[in-house]
A and B are shown apart, each in its own frame.
Chain A
Amino acid sequence: MRLLMTASQIRGLPVVTVGGGEDVAEVRDVIYSPEEGRLVGVTLNKRGFLAGRSRDALPAEAIHAIGQNAVMVLDESSLVAPQDAPDDVGRPATERNVIGDDVLTEGGTSLGKVTDLVLLVGSTGEVVGYQIDKDGGGRGYIPLPAQLSVSGVALVVPNVTEEFVQDDLVGLGASVDEFRARMGLT
């Protein structure tokens, strides 16, 4: 079974070194590239007595794994200062935020508003779907194609997405492969 988590579940997770067993930071937020449908990295907070915003960031390439209880890195050198980070990690563009965007099918049907990102956790942190507030009320989950057009106010998904709206993360996990097969992505 694949493990899916929302970005909100990842926020606040400790960042722990594999070799040292130390919690060197915690996740403040995830940095996401909607055009590429992937996690770019995470911003960090400090832990312990010095708790508060950290200037350091963690690029996705330096993440060893994301699990239910921790984000694992090999050692403390995985955390990078903003000037040493790739631009999209060091200075993430805020207009990339898709939360609150309308989800529209290519046919022009609104499915709802984006409330959260859904990531396939493990070694990569691929973004595979969105949590939405459905227009008809209630929460839903939609799978994502690898790429889509996004403007900052709306994002456009294939018509077939409408058939794949799920009620929970488990349902989404089960349907992602089928959805991608239908899209000819796998």
Chain B
Amino acid sequence: MSESFRGSSGRKVISRATASEVGSVGHLLVDAQQRRVAAVVIGRGKKAQLVDWAQLSGFGPDAVMVADENVLRPPADDRERAATEGDLELVGKRALTERGNELGQIDDVTFDNDTGVLEDLLIGNRRVPAGSLLGSGSYAVVVDESQETSP
């Protein structure tokens, strides 16, 4: 099923073991090279934690399920720390083509909730297939030149 970054923000994260809420989805960290969701960021700032996509037991429409609280972990490197600070959040980020021209801001991103594979980037009224994604960082998301608007 197709899910969106915006739509899943704030969704409860529930431990299967205790049936209790362990947090809520802050945003999703992507692996631009693999074009998929790498991890769920829970909370924001110093206390934020991550759950690797592979550790989820389900990304459902009403709750994100994890086995237990122990799968939540602190950021492991600089990139993950930047993610917990919110610096790598895709929604709201400027999108550049590899030719150095700006397409606009990313309004939303859709993905397959079963596999975590990214589907489309929504930029204004344009739908950019995730296959065009080349890189993503704190300054911009970069997409390939096939997304250049013909003048």
Contacts and interface: CB of A to CB of B under 8 A. Distances in A.
Size bracket of the A interface:
20 to 34
A169 to B, nearest CB: 14
A69 B33 CA distance: 23
Interface stretch (B40-48, B68-76, B111-119, B139-147): B139-147
B99 interface: yes
Which among A14, A21, A71, A121 has the highest number of chain B CB atoms within 10 Å? A21
Size bracket of the B interface:
10 to 19
Given A16-B100, A17-B135, A72-B96, 10 more contacts: A14-B139, A19-B142, A21-B138, A22-B138, A23-B139, A66-B100, A67-B100, A69-B100, A70-B140, A72-B99
A13 B139 CA distance: 13
Interface in B110-141: 134-141
A71 B97 CA distance: 11
Contacts of B83: none
Contact of B100 (A19, A20, A22, A68): A68
Contacts of B142: 16-19, 21, 72
Nearest to A68: B101
A18 B98 CA distance: 6
A66 B97 CA distance: 11
